[in-house]
Structure 1
Amino acid sequence: MTGNLRFSSLRDRWYFADEQDEHDLHCGDPIEIEIGDRYYYARIEWCAEGWYAIFHEDDQRSDAFVLMRNRTYTARWIYF
């Protein structure tokens, strides 16, 4: 399901929105975020400094990406 990753200051959390619905995201939730022309698998996390996404290249490496509250990211929600 493709849509947008947005921040809600009222709920103080990120959510995924598509044409039909919205889903609040919680720590550990998986999502794919579009960077350039490709989607990257990530999980959403929170710490005292704010919300971020952790991208996994493989078992040996992962990168963190700080989510900017004033940005909207194209994303695919992964649901189980």
Structure 2
Amino acid sequence: MRRYFFPIFHKGETQADDVGELFGFAEMADQYGARVARDIASDPDYDRGAGTVVIVVDASGAEVARHVVGGVV
């Protein structure tokens, strides 16, 4: 299992993820990041113009994926 982190870029600022999640494969972490983005977009109070992005990063700091909230990836 490898640890992946999911920082969120929102309104020009980054919300760090200092805990992360464990996944066996990068593809599973990518799917989780997409689900986080969908969950944010489903919030009725979410600001659609915020330009929010969920970034998937592995433990070495390498970016695995990006998921635009409410957008097409």
- Provide TM-score, normalisation by structure 2: 0.24
Which structure is higher in strand share? Answer: 1
Which structure features the higher share of helix residues? 2
